[in-house]
């Protein structure tokens, strides 16, 4: 749809206007004498009219070289060969017909006129996806609903409406179900069975797999035979003591237990506010941060050049040049790759855009390109490549036995800080949802400032003619 429509209506009357510079005459639909012209300018927000003498009329909105026009019905006059420039966003009622259109050139967003925030995203690479832009708890979010080949326009719009309803009700108090009307659950094992069947959570596939495993392997063996309303705070603390050697795993498992107990409160199986897992202290862990030195970078580059696994080597180099997470690269598909960036439909923090440097683009250009749904780095059976397993076997050959794949991401941030880039753009490069996450690199900034102070101080000494022996 054009953003602006220009209409001209000719009206027969007298106009005592001042003489103006003569412009080319505009064609009209009849041969009657017309002394007055009314020029209408219509936009989605306002309507304005301007009266001019017919002989001084000039068509607004057309280029100077477009002087020919064809007379149409009802007094409209438009350029004969004018082609509107493509816009980056349009607004139209989204249907299956719109979804089947082809988009060539730059990316395009088409917004729905029926449901605000609901839209269709065309990528220059050819992919088309439904999406919803909304605000949740004061933060703007974008939810990718699915591909146009997997879900029709009506179903995508209904899914968007459901998400908006859920967001509108988020945080509002809910009436608990009466105990006699709740499902008949006696033990924690029964509660977990209903919890997994009702799915009152919005876990991502990888998170769901890990949490289900925690329920099956850890929580059910300890709490499974206990009555739901009999689990107390001291029971949770005793279980905490048994997981002291697996502190990191406990910090994730306690969140799962808290979610199951909250579900029991919603069913009316426990009193409101009686969640025994809430407020349980987590184990404090020393965060591991390992940064590659320049010599280690050179050694790693040399060993990668000697390796014959082209796909894995390209994946490692892309991790080093983008600072992306391991899962973001292993699950990357060609439909998410454009010339300047990676448009990830989903990541740890939701939809994400990763800018590509010249070196990163060269790495992707060296790989055989597949269809939009094809994985960029696939394993033997068509599954996402297991980068962590390959790296665990490879890193010893590079003399880096203590370096994890995630340390390549830390090293990327370290190099950015050493080159004088502030924390805010670094957070955007890494895709951090919270600024607090980026602040873990603040100590590197302080070290750069100290080194800069030393350099400046030495220069002042030389200018004053002093030497180190003088001090």
pLDDT band at 433 (very low <50, low <70, confident <90, very high): low
**What average pLDDT does this structure show over 275-295?**
84
Using the predicted structure, report yes or no on whether residue 179 has a pLDDT greater than 60.
no
Higher per-residue confidence, 469 vs 423:
423
| Percentage of the chain modeled with pLDDT above 70 | 69
Using the predicted structure, report yes or no on whether residue 375 has a pLDDT greater than 60.
yes
pLDDT digits (tens, 9 = 90+) for 206-243: 788 889 999 999 999 999 999 999 999 999 999 999 99
Q: What is the reported pLDDT for 12?
A: 34
Count of Cβ atoms closer than 10 Å to residue 444 Cβ: 20
Higher per-residue confidence, 128 vs 442:
128
| Percentage of the chain modeled with pLDDT above 90 | 29
CATH topology of domain 89-169: Double Stranded RNA Binding Domain (3.30.160)
Which of 168-177, 279-288, 355-364 is the most confident on average?
Answer: 355-364
List, in sequence order, every residue forming a beta bridge with 141; answer none if it has no partner.
134
The reply to whether CATH 1.20.58 applies to domain 179-266 is: no
Report yes or no: 75 and 57 within 8 Å, Cβ to Cβ: no
- Supply the mean pLDDT for the chain: 76
Domain with CATH 3.30.160.390 in the chain: 89-169
Predicted TM-score (pTM) of this structure: 0.48
pLDDT band at 314 (very low <50, low <70, confident <90, very high): very high
**What average pLDDT does this structure show over 327-332?**
89
Domain with CATH 1.10.443.10 in the chain: 294-437
Report yes or no: 319 and 405 within 8 Å, Cβ to Cβ: yes
pLDDT band at 263 (very low <50, low <70, confident <90, very high): very high
Using the predicted structure, report yes or no on whether residue 443 has a pLDDT greater than 50.
yes
Using the predicted structure, report yes or no on whether residue 435 has a pLDDT greater than 50.
yes
pLDDT band at 354 (very low <50, low <70, confident <90, very high): confident
Domain with CATH 1.10.150 in the chain: 179-266
Q: Which helix (H) or strand (E) holds 424?
A: helix 423-430
Using the predicted structure, report yes or no on whether residue 252 has a pLDDT greater than 80.
yes
pLDDT digits (tens, 9 = 90+) for 22-64: 444 444 444 444 444 444 444 444 444 444 444 443 434 333 3
Q: What is the reported pLDDT for 313?
A: 92
Q: What is the reported pLDDT for 63?
A: 38
In the structure encoding, which two tokens stand for residue 356, read together?
């590509």
pLDDT digits (tens, 9 = 90+) for 386-410: 999 999 999 988 889 988 888 888 8
Using the predicted structure, report yes or no on whether residue 250 has a pLDDT greater than 50.
yes
Report yes or no: 200 and 191 within 8 Å, Cβ to Cβ: no
pLDDT band at 20 (very low <50, low <70, confident <90, very high): very low
CATH hierarchy code of domain 294-437: 1.10.443.10
pLDDT digits (tens, 9 = 90+) for 71-122: 444 444 444 444 444 446 788 899 888 888 877 677 888 999 999 999 999 8
Those residues with Cβ within 8 angstroms of residue 201's Cβ, 6 or more apart along the chain or in another chain: 208, 259
**What average pLDDT does this structure show over 358-366?**
90
Q: What is the reported pLDDT for 442?
A: 54
In angstroms, the CA 211 to CA 381 distance is 26
The mean-pLDDT minimum among 204-218, 330-344, 454-468 falls in 454-468
Which of 315, 229, 220 lies closest to 276 in space, CA to CA? Answer: 229
Q: What is the reported pLDDT for 59?
A: 37
In angstroms, the CA 297 to CA 310 distance is 19
In angstroms, the CA 263 to CA 242 distance is 25
In angstroms, the CA 239 to CA 283 distance is 13
Higher per-residue confidence, 46 vs 342:
342
């Amino acid at each position: 749809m054009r953003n602006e429509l220009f209409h001209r209506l000719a009206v027969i009357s007298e106009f005592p206007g001042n003489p103006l510079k003569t412009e080319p005459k505009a064609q009209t639909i009849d041969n009657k004498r017309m002394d007055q012209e009314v020029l209408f300018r219509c936009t989605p927000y306002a309507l304005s009219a301007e009266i001019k003498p017919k002989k001084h009329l000039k068509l607004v909105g057309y280029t100077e070289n477009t002087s020919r026009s064809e007379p149409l019905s009802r007094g409209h006059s438009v350029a004969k060969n004018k082609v509107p420039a493509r816009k980056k966003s349009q607004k139209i009622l989204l249907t299956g017909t719109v979804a089947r259109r082809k988009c060539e050139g730059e990316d395009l967003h088409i917004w729905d006129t029926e449901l605000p925030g609901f839209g269709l995203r065309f990528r220059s690479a050819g992919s088309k996806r439904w999406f919803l832009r909304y605000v949740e708890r004061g933060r703007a979010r974008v939810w990718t609903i699915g591909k146009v080949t997997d879900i029709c326009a009506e179903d995508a719009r209904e899914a968007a409406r459901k998400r908006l309803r859920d967001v509108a009700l988020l945080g509002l108090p809910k009436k608990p179900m009466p105990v006699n009307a709740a499902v008949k659950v006696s033990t924690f094992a029964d509660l977990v069975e209903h919890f997994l069947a009702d799915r009152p959570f919005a876990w991502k596939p990888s998170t769901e797999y890990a949490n289900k495993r925690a329920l099956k392997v850890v929580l059910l063996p300890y709490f499974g035979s206990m009555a739901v309303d009999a689990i107390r705070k001291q029971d949770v603390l005793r279980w905490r003591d048994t997981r002291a050697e697996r502190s990191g795993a406990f910090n994730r498992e306690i969140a799962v237990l808290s979610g199951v107990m909250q579900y029991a409160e919603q069913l009316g199986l426990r009193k409101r506010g009686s969640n025994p897992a809430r407020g349980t202290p987590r184990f404090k862990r020393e965060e591991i941060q390992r940064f590659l030195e320049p010599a280690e970078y050179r050694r790693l580059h040399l060993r990668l050049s000697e390796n014959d696994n082209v796909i894995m080597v390209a994946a490692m180099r892309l991790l080093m040049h983008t600072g992306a997470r391991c899962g973001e690269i292993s699950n990357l598909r060609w439909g998410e790759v454009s010339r300047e960036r990676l448009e990830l439909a989903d990541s740890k923090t939701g939809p994400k855009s990763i800018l590509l440097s010249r070196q990163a683009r060269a790495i992707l250009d060296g790989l055989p390109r597949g269809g939009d749904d094809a994985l960029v780095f696939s394993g033997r059976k068509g599954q996402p490549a297991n980068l962590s397993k390959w790296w665990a076997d490879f890193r010893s050959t590079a003399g880096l036995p203590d370096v994890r794949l995630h340390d390549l991401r830390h090293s990327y941030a370290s190099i950015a800080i050493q080159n004088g880039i502030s924390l805010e753009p670094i957070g955007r490069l890494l895709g951090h949802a919270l600024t607090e996450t980026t602040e873990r690199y603040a100590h590197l900034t302080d070290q750069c400032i100290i080194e800069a102070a030393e350099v400046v101080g030495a220069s002042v000494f030389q200018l004053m003619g002093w030497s180190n022996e003088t001090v």
